[in-house]
Amino acid sequence: MREKRRVVITGLGVVSPIGNGKERFWDALVRGENGVKKIRSFDTRLYKTHYGGEVKDFKPEKYIRNIKVPSYCRSTQLAMVASRLAVEDSGMGKVLEEKAERERCGVIVGSTTQDPKLGERYVLIWAKRGYENTPVQLTKTLNWFTVGLANSIARELNISGLSMSIPAACAAGNYTIGYAFDLIKAGRLDTVLAGGTDPMNQLVYAGFNRLMAMAPQKCQPFDRNRKGLIVSEGAGVLVLEELEHARRRKAGIYAEVISYGLGCDAYHSTGLHPEGLGIINAVKMALGRAGLNITDIDYINAHGTGTPLNDRIETKVIKKIFGSRAKKIPISSIKSMIGHTMGAASAIEAVACSLIIRYGIIPATINYVTPDPECDLDYVPNRPRKQKVSIVLSNSFGFGGNIGVLVIGRFNG
């Protein structure tokens, strides 16, 4: 029988409201920086809230070299820059110069929808000039398909194994990493750029505003007075690589992808199942596939959006799954600093988890002021904690009850 293939993380690329590139991002996470500011990319006067997490100092032209991406395709740009950063970080650039390697490399990116900033362009032109006047150039520059995001990255980096999108809403990152893990394990590919992306845009900002799900100024996961989520933008991309492939080229290894699990609430378009049906199934699947026990998990990266409902149910479900151990596991939500980057969220969180494993520091849940009797676990409030972490569980829950959880761990040779 063929030796079991293992999958490791060898490159990290991140573009976020608290910093671009893994160094700045990690530094900000440890310092507990708040990336949520007044929105600058559009006029918020008509909205009930005015804050969000926007990416600053973004210079895509430094990273996008081969294909032309207009500035109005921000979702694509964010993902492409994160991909370039991940490839550079992993030293895969040289590897991809070989045709055989390119054919065994894939791109799987998640988002909530087709590039919404490109969509905005189409919608405004159609509103003003009618469908018949759709500019030919607009349809030609970049395709507006959901998979267009991934195709652009594959073209830019000359990758020819696979280009795919898994639009699993706010859980997209974990879905893409999970499927990449499966494809590498099955021997279909050797390396995959997996991640997620979403830009600040009015479609999503209006949607959450109208759902009354947004906090006015800050994201306070698990705090008694939490008021909702903060809409943000960003992209996270990880280089997943088959272990022997990584070893042969002496690549640095951040962590090993150990398992993942999917579940579906089949309950509500926007809200979680009150008993956490999908989450429980997903965690069971993740632990079961890897032969892990609940005692093996020593940190939980929470979905922790900061909405009253999410944090209460997430806490309840963690207690259900982990029993008396729940109180002993540190849990934190980096959304307290970044806000909710939608399709990018779980990918950015996977980048964070890889760094947490490498450096042995757990970032805090910031903005935590008042304990909530219904959320009574250890949320690592306000101050990061030095603690060696071996295996982490990263939760992500998306619209439509799409649940994806990821288990990554220290690589032990």
175 binds another protein (CB under 8 A): yes
Count of chain residues binding another protein (CB under 8 A): 82
Kindly indicate which of the ranges 61-69, 179-187, 319-327, 364-372 contains the residues binding another protein, using the contact rule CB under 8 A: 179-187
**Does residue 145 belong to the site contacting another protein (CB under 8 A)?**
yes
Q: Which of residues 185-244 bind another protein (CB under 8 A)?
A: 186, 188, 202-203, 205-212
The CA R_g of the chain, rounded to the nearest whole Å, is 20
Please measure the distance between the N-terminal and C-terminal CA atoms of the chain and give it in whole angstroms. Answer: 21
Query: Between residue 361 and residue 400, which ones bind another protein under the rule CB under 8 A?
Result: 398-400
What residue spans of 116-211 are helical by DSSP H?
Answer: 116-129, 136-141, 148-157, 172-185, 202-210
Q: Is 105 designated active site?
A: no
Among residues 30, 96, 147, 292, the one that binds another protein under rule CB under 8 A = 147
Binding track, positions 29-68, relative to another protein; x by CB under 8 A: -----------------xx---------------------
Eight-class DSSP state of 57: S
Instruction: Please check whether residue 41 is in contact with residue 231, taking contact to mean a CB–CB distance below 8 angstroms.
Output: no
As measured in angstroms, the least distance from the Cβ of 310 to another protein is 16
User: What is the distance of C-alpha 407 from the center of its chain?
Assistant: 14
Q: How far apart are CA 74 and CA 198, in angstroms?
A: 8
Q: Are 80 and 64 in contact (CB under 8 A)?
A: yes
Q: Which of 38, 56, 123, 225 binds another protein (CB under 8 A)?
A: 123
Catalytic, 170? Answer yes
Contact 48, 208 (CB under 8 A): no
Q: Please, what is the minimum distance in Å from the beta carbon of residue 119 to another protein?
A: 6
Give the Cα separation of 307 and 231 in Å (integer): 12
Out of 11, 21, 116, 381, the residue judged to bind another protein by CB under 8 A: 116
275 belongs to the binding site for another protein (CB under 8 A) = no
Closest CA to 259 of 192, 165, 185: 185
Would you say 148 or 236 has its CB closer to another protein?
Answer: 148
With residue 352 as reference, give the H or E element that holds it: helix 345-359
As annotated, the active-site residues are 170, 303, 340
